[in-house]
A and B are shown apart, each in its own frame.
Chain A
Amino acid sequence: MILASTQTMWFLTRSSGLVAMILLSASVALGVVTSVGWSNVRWPRFVTLGLHRNISLVAVVILALHIATTVLDGFAPIGWLDAVVPLRSPYRPIWLGLGAVAVDLLLAVTVTSLLRRHISHAVWRTVHWTAWAAWPAAVLHGLGTGSDTMNGWAQLVYVACTAVVLAACWWRIAVGWPARLKPRVAALVASVLIPLLVLFWAVSGPLHTGWARRAGTPTQTEQQTR
Chain B
Amino acid sequence: MTIRLVLDPIACDGHGLCAEVFPEGITLDDWGYPILREGDVPRQLEQHARRAASACPVLALRVRRVR
- Whether A and B touch (Cβ < 8 Å) is answered with yes
Interface residues of A (CB under 8 A from B): 34-35, 37, 39, 44-46, 49-50, 116-117, 121, 124
Contacts of B59 in A (CB 8 A): 116-117, 121, 124
Residues of B3-20 whose CB lies within 8 A of A: 11, 15-17, 20
Task: Name which residue of chain B comes closest to A116, CB basis.
Answer: B59
Closest chain-B Cβ to A125's Cβ sits at a distance in Å of: 9
Contact B16 A45 (CB under 8 A): yes
Contacts of A34 in B (CB 8 A): 57
* Interface size class, chain B: 10 to 19
Contact A45 B15 (CB under 8 A): yes
B36 contacts the other chain (CB 8 A): no
Contacts of B57 in A (CB 8 A): 34-35, 49
Using an 8 Å CB-CB cutoff, how does the interface string of B49-64 with A read, 1 for contact, 0 for none? 0000001011100100
Alpha-carbon separation in the docked complex, A35 to B57 (Å)? 9
Once A37-B15, A121-B11 are accepted as A-B contacts, the answer to whether A46 and B58 lie under 8 Å apart by CB is no
Contacts of B21 in A (CB 8 A): 46
Alpha-carbon separation in the docked complex, A70 to B10 (Å)? 47
Contact B20 A46 (CB under 8 A): yes
Alpha-carbon separation in the docked complex, A37 to B28 (Å)? 15
Contacts of B58 in A (CB 8 A): 121
Alpha-carbon separation in the docked complex, A49 to B58 (Å)? 12
Closest chain-B Cβ to A175's Cβ sits at a distance in Å of: 14
Contacts of A121 in B (CB 8 A): 11, 58-59
Closest chain-A Cβ to B35's Cβ sits at a distance in Å of: 18
Alpha-carbon separation in the docked complex, A106 to B62 (Å)? 26
Using an 8 Å CB-CB cutoff, how does the interface string of B15-45 with A read, 1 for contact, 0 for none? 1110011000000000000000000000000
Contact A49 B11 (CB under 8 A): no
Closest chain-B Cβ to A215's Cβ sits at a distance in Å of: 40
Given contacts A45-B20, A124-B59, 20 further A-B contacts (CB under 8 A): A34-B57, A35-B57, A39-B16, A39-B20, A44-B17, A44-B20, A45-B15, A45-B16, A45-B17, A46-B17, A46-B20, A46-B21, A46-B55, A49-B17, A49-B57, A117-B59, A117-B62, A121-B11, A121-B58, A121-B59
